[in-house]
Amino acid sequence: MLQILAELCGGVGLFLIGMTLLTDSLKSLAGNTLKALLTKFTANKFKAMLSGIGLTILVNSSTATTVATIGFVSAGVLTFAQAIGIIIGANIGTTSTGWIVAFIGLKFSISMFALPLIAFGAIIKLLYKDRTALFGLVVAGFGLIFYGIDVLQVAMAGFSQQSDFSLLAYTGFWSKIVLVFIGIVMAMVLQSSSAAITATMAALASGAIDFPQAIFMVIGQNVGSVSITVLSVIGASINAKRTVAVNVIFNIVSALVAFFVVAPLFIGLTEKVSFFHDFDLVVLLAIFHTAFSVVGAMIFMPLIKQLEVLIIHLLPDDSPSILACLDEASLQVPSAALQSARTVVHYCLFEILYIFIHLLKEGIVPKQKQLDELDHVIAQVEEYLEKVVLVGHSELKTSFLALLRVMIYVRVLRSDLEHTENGILLRTQPMVYQLALDYVHIVESYIEDGRHLTDPEQITHLKDELNNLKKWTSNHRAEIRSKLMEYSELHQLNAAKGLELLAAQRWMDRLIAHSYRLSNVLYESLDKPDSQN
């Protein structure tokens, strides 16, 4: 019996390692596909659901889809309603693992093929780098998954000879509850619904349990899978909690419908309809798993708006803040993390530019509290960017470096705010003040809100206008200084006051130059239309 338990643990361990390798490598290979699927194909709730299904099958992980969704909701790229559709789709997509196991993993012994796959994948990983190396890990991951399934099959065959599950006949209500509870515990202990369902399929194939027992265990495993995501959002942002709440509600309601309606109907059909008699029991279990997720989707898809209202009511955002974008969970999906960080960086830029506008146009000096809050956000986004890991994501490095360049000018413009007294002083000098008003007019014309910082057309115009203003100031710098000195002499200002006026003029020149360089960096960091490339 100890040997059987050891084989069971080993089989599950091999499967989990294989799943981790496969999922992480596929996420890295997918790269910006995560963002493309989640942002371009979610125009309506049905497309959002299909995106959730497709992405989950692509990366072989509903958790990865959930994490990416949280990140893009936090960054404002997706609405919460779109996120609900994606999460529903992810729950359908995650049933694909059962189909792979049913049609490949348990049909024949594949250990003789699995071991060469592991070796082949390891060789590719050792000999190559970047995406080719990731492909090697995908191959090795597949090999480990199937080798783990083979070990599980052998262990379950021995387990079936020494165990008696007849006491847990599915006919009694409490027996069904116990089977569901066993499924919940399996998913929670293994921290993977896929591993739990694979173990159940292996037990069914070996005869350790019968088909109805397997059905109720799978229902429990579907419920138990939410514990993984619930634990991951303790102390997380409100967006993360709301997205996981969708997953919890969907899984629990789907499980209740499956327990009382779908399971009895499905068991009855497979027993009484001769068409199903020729089906492999493991295949039927995969069909059931997908069927009750689809039924859950049919219930929730028409109610997405009501579900959104309910969850927002249950989990209100009592402290709205731009820092909610910097969700730690998003770091698992670098494309989502970059989008979140970009949103916060652009927020900081917009805040700084409008402090300058209010200072120069209306003479409003920012309060220290406002500057302290801005400094806190800048520090937080810098700390967040330090945590972004791009190993295996070479296609994101250019975007990351561009964002770091933008971040440099956030700091540069923030340092210009240290001398707001210059902004007040130059308002007393008509010639320099007109220059300041020209600057204000340009910025206000093209940056009406934070979204314009990502608009290639707006940034192009901003860059051109600021460049013209910068050239004008360069050409007329000596003339302006001469007039300032004449003003000082005419009004008999002391030397210190005259130097302050010159310092204010130099400060304005620097602000224009820094803003122009920022616009240039923003322009280079954006995805321009083909006509502009």
For residues 139 and 257, state if they share a domain.
Answer: yes
| 531 pLDDT above the threshold of 60 | no
**Tell me, what's the pLDDT at 382?**
93
The DSSP annotation for 59-90 comes to HT-HHHHHHHHHHHHHTTSS-HHHHHHHHHHH
Domain that holds residue 152: 2-314
Is 35:64 a contact under the CB 8 Å cutoff? no
- Is residue 319 in some structural domain? no
- Is residue 249 in some structural domain? yes
How many alpha carbons lie under 13 Å from residue 97 in its C-beta half-sphere? 30
By percentage, how much of the chain surpasses pLDDT 70? 85
For residues 374 and 307, state if they share a domain.
Answer: no
For residues 364 and 280, state if they share a domain.
Answer: no
For residues 133 and 29, state if they share a domain.
Answer: yes
**Tell me, what's the pLDDT at 530?**
41
CATH of the domain at 409: 1.20.58
- Is residue 144 in some structural domain? yes
For residues 404 and 303, state if they share a domain.
Answer: no
**Tell me, what's the pLDDT at 228?**
65
Is 327:302 a contact under the CB 8 Å cutoff? no
Q: Which two tokens stand for residue 399?
A: 């975007």
For residues 217 and 361, state if they share a domain.
Answer: no
Is 402:523 a contact under the CB 8 Å cutoff? no
- Is residue 320 in some structural domain? no
Q: What is the pLDDT of residues 6-56, one digit of tens each?
A: 877 887 788 778 877 876 776 666 655 666 666 667 778 888 898 889 888
Q: What is the pLDDT of residues 122-152, one digit of tens each?
A: 999 888 877 788 888 888 887 887 788 777 7
Model confidence band, residue 460 (pLDDT cutoffs 50, 70, 90): very high
Is 461:478 a contact under the CB 8 Å cutoff? no
Residue range 381-389: mean pLDDT, rounded: 91
CA distance 431 to 195: 73
Number of compact structural domains in the chain: 2
- Is residue 328 in some structural domain? no
CA distance 25 to 2: 34
**Tell me, what's the pLDDT at 289?**
93
- Is residue 173 in some structural domain? yes
For residues 198 and 342, state if they share a domain.
Answer: no
For residues 294 and 405, state if they share a domain.
Answer: no
- Is residue 106 in some structural domain? yes
What b/e string do you get for 177-213 counting C-beta neighbours within 10 Å, with b at 16 or more?
A: ebbbebbbebbbebebbbbbbbbbbbbbbbebbbbbb
For residues 21 and 168, state if they share a domain.
Answer: yes
| 88 pLDDT above the threshold of 80 | yes
Range with the lowest mean pLDDT among 1-10, 92-101, 303-312, 336-345? 1-10
492: left (phi over 0), alpha (psi -120 to 50) or beta: left
CA distance 54 to 38: 10
Q: Which two tokens stand for residue 426?
A: 């130059």
**Tell me, what's the pLDDT at 488?**
73
Residue range 510-519: mean pLDDT, rounded: 94
CA distances from 166 to 160, 171, 177, 215, 281 (A): 11, 11, 15, 15, 18
Q: Which two tokens stand for residue 517?
A: 């360089």
The DSSP annotation for 97-158 comes to HHHHIIIIITTS--HHHHHHHHHHHHHHHHH--HHHHHHHHHHHHHHHHHHHHHHHHHHHHH
Residue range 47-74: mean pLDDT, rounded: 79
Angle at 268 between CA 262 and CA 270, to 5 degrees: 100
Highest mean pLDDT among 17-31, 54-68, 271-285, 454-468: 454-468
3-state SS of 436-475 is HHHHHHHHHHHCCCHHHHHCHHHHHHHHHHHHHHHHHHHH
For residues 352 and 214, state if they share a domain.
Answer: no
Residue 283: count other Cβ atoms within 10 Å of its Cβ: 17
For residues 78 and 139, state if they share a domain.
Answer: yes
What mean pLDDT is reported for the chain?
83
CA distance 378 to 297: 41
Using DSSP, state whether 233 is helix, strand or coil: coil
For residues 226 and 372, state if they share a domain.
Answer: no
Q: Which two tokens stand for residue 162?
A: 């020494």
Residue 287: count other Cβ atoms within 10 Å of its Cβ: 18
State which amino acid sits at residue 360. L
- Is residue 10 in some structural domain? yes
156: left (phi over 0), alpha (psi -120 to 50) or beta: alpha
